[in-house]
Amino acid sequence: LLCLPLSLFGTTSGAMPDAKQECNIVATCCRLIHGCVKFRGNQCRRSAALIIQSSSCLQSKILSVESLIAKQVENADGTGAQELDDLMVKLRSAASYVCDLYKELASQSENFGKYLVHVLSSYVFLEHGDMNAGDKSEITLILESGICTLLGSCPPKDL
């Protein structure tokens, strides 16, 4: 279960799902991992590296779908605007689930404390392109509240 995002998004073979389906997959994976971490935190501690990698994979997929939508909006001529709006709603929902997962990892700092800095480093690495652009995207703003919670839960020696 914990490696589900890696198996879904880590392969290049087969047909890629469309953006709406990817948002649904990200949201579902986040809810499943969030439930595991919340209700089975002690048992999940052994798989902390896999949880961190899965959350990074989910965040990466959200940002790639957002980039795809931004390109579609630039090239749009007015047709399909409702479809793009619906897709953005799904993307915001998926991003909020990733944010909730980050907050749950922070609340379980007794189990995942030494791994939280790895979530932060993957966030910085994935957001590096957006920081160069100068503008923060809407999805980045949604993710930031979870990242700030993680930052507050990181052991000071790791920062």
pLDDT tens over the chain, length 159 residues: 555 565 555 545 444 457 788 888 888 888 998 999 999 888 888 888 888 888 888 888 888 888 888 777 777 666 667 788 888 898 999 999 999 999 999 998 888 888 888 888 888 887 765 544 556 788 888 988 898 998 888 888 877
**Burial 129-148, CB ≥16 within 10 A → b, else e:** ebeeeeeebebbebbbebbe
Radius of gyration of the chain (CA): 16
